[in-house]
Chains A and B, each alone.
Chain A
Amino acid sequence: MRTRALLLASAASAAAILGGWQLGDAATTSLTVGSTTTTDTSGTGGTSSSQSSDAAAPAGSSASASGAADGTYTGTSVSTRFGNVQVQVTISGGAITDVTALHLTDSDGRSIQISNRAAPMLRSEVLQAQSASVSMIGGATYTSAAYLQSLQAALDQAGF
């Protein structure tokens, strides 16, 4: 390659890559998950503080049986780059007895693989902790964050 071609190529490439990086950073400064489809939930997934919505009972962050009514509650659908996530929680006798994933990140083959691995791990963590305040699964950041956010919305509904 001649010097001029080399200079042109370097300049064009540097501009493209820096521009791409900037765009990527700008788009993801408010990382984790995208917008939620319903109104009531607050922060990003993983936080345990729940704001009381319409239910009266004060929400405790951990175990002890609160005034939550038995039943099945469906969380909001949380959209991520890799697809929507929505979970359903079953509360019985004031405790979380089951979490079912209605929809998981599935935009591509790799996402499905990640979802299939992360969902059972998240479920058992939640059942053990009895809250949405559990650690995210490594390598499944988007899925975990959205899963816990949807779960939190469901718990809020239950007044859990």
Chain B
Amino acid sequence: MAFLVHDARHLERPTRPIGGDERARAGRRLWRVDLLQAAAVASVAIAVALFLAEGGATRFGDPGAALTSLGIIAGLAATDLVLVMLLLAARVPLIERAVGHDAAMAFHGRLGKPVLYLLLAHGVLLLAGYAIADGIDVWAEAVAIWNLPDLPLAILGFALFLAVVVSSLVAVRRKFRYEVWHVIHLLVYVAVLAALPHQFSVGGLFVVGTWQWAYWLVITFGTFAAVIGWRVVAPLVASLRHGLVVERIDPVGDPRDGVVSVTMRGRRLAALRATGGQFFIWRFLSAGQWWQAHPYSLSAAPRGDRLRITVRALGDGSASLGGIRPGTRVALEGPYGIFSEASRSRRRLTLVAAGIGVTPIRSLLESATFRPGEATVVLRTQGPAEGWLLDEVRELCHQRGATLITVPGGRGRGWLTPSAERQGLHLLALAPAVADSDLYVCGPRGWAEGVISEARAAGLAPEQIHHERFDW
């Protein structure tokens, strides 16, 4: 069953004086996405091209040389991709605003295994190439290369990289606490630094003054500067500048659910330029909490000097958030995400959330641009009239002229409830205009995938579908 809590469909006017705003903006954003992707691929090509420029065909003169060259190319491609991975995780504003945090991190994750294979190929091909050139068997060569300078260090780097990738495989990752996994993940910086010396001492590739040397110098130092700048300096500066403190903590709904809204107060928050639907990475600076960082979406659009999040007891951190008090200082990193106006591509809006996924939907509803009748909100809730922040969402729908539908009950086989499924309800039935709207989906991963596949089937283009993940 689904309940039409507030009906604003009749308010929609057939046309709007200024049309195409969202489409033009989406067009510009997609250009940036495409150019960034092309740049990532081209950077690998440039790395290979600069290698080929030093030697050309002579690099492939005999089998030994050819294998050695291929091995070097694999190593260069792997190094370049590692830097791309670091940049994707560096919270570079250009990337965050165009691609979005989720998509950037998903791409980052997909590169891990290919890089590992390239590094393996690098080792195997060079070993084979050297063995053929030296006219000895692979085992003797394997012993011989230990005498190369910095090679043990490079092998240590590879082992660390292997540990990072393995710890990030979904099956393995679940076994770790977030913080443990994160510490393992930070080893990647050690891995890159350990691998660096052999690129200069063994390969002799980066002869001072050559184009190749200049290129690697720029991308390596550029990447490390980006990581330090945007992951360390910028958050520190923002935290000090805005001096955020917890102002009040209010329980939401049934106290047994452990859902609370945390309102924080700070200075000059407008400078953050945060909007509804975005998230920050928060660190509550109290005794047992400071070492945990939590990504939480704003549950209300920033207003004046206040930011608000709404949090359910998920994971260790959220459960003990109840322990924080008014006055607790808060460090923040962000705003991140394009689950916001930044990714709009149509004038209509469809917002779909399940459970606590309502939080960014609630703040997005507040700050999104739409005219009465152009927005539909579908919420999976506990009861027809009870759900987290449901009162606030209902109030906003009244004010702004958005249609609100609740689908109460447990989850069925799809993304709806069993009773709604029996009635044959689906996305298109709940939000008839969905095909020509921006769809924002927030909730557990499997559930969200259900909504998204239905949206695809209904004919939505990828740039119309916006998804925020809550699990890490």
Contacts and interface: CB of A to CB of B under 8 A. Distances in A.
A20 B34 contact: no
B219 interface: no
A26 to B, nearest CB: 8
B62 A8 contact: no
Contacts of B30: 2
A160 to B, nearest CB: 30
A11 B38 CA distance: 9
Contacts of B62: 138-139
A24 to B, nearest CB: 3
B34 A8 contact: yes
B38 A9 contact: yes
Nearest to B54: A24
B133 A28 contact: no
Interface size class of A (residues with CB under 8 A): 35 or more
Describe B's contact surface by its main secondary structure: helix
A5 B103 CA distance: 15
Interface string A1-40: 1101100111011101101111111111001000000000
B54 to A, nearest CB: 6
Contact of B49 (A16, A27, A107): A16
B237 interface: no
Interface string A123-136: 00000000000000
Interface size class of B (residues with CB under 8 A): 35 or more
A109 B150 contact: yes
B52 A110 contact: no
B65 interface: yes
Given A109-B150, A109-B202, A9 B41 contact: yes
Contact of B54 (A22, A31, A81): A81
A134 B418 CA distance: 85
Given A16-B45, A109-B150, A139-B132, A24 B34 contact: no
Interface in B312-335: none
B222 interface: no
Given A5-B34, A28-B58, A109-B149, A20 B49 contact: yes
Nearest to B50: A20
Contact of B37 (A5, A107, A114): A5
Q: Which of A20, A26, A31, A107 has the most CB of B within 10 A?
A: A20
7 contacts: A9-B38, A13-B41, A20-B46, A23-B53, A108-B200, A113-B148, A114-B134
Given A21-B56, A110-B148, 4 more contacts: A9-B37, A10-B41, A108-B202, A113-B147
Give 6 nearest A-B pairs by CB, closest first.
Answer: A24-B56, A139-B133, A108-B204, A20-B49, A13-B45, A8-B38
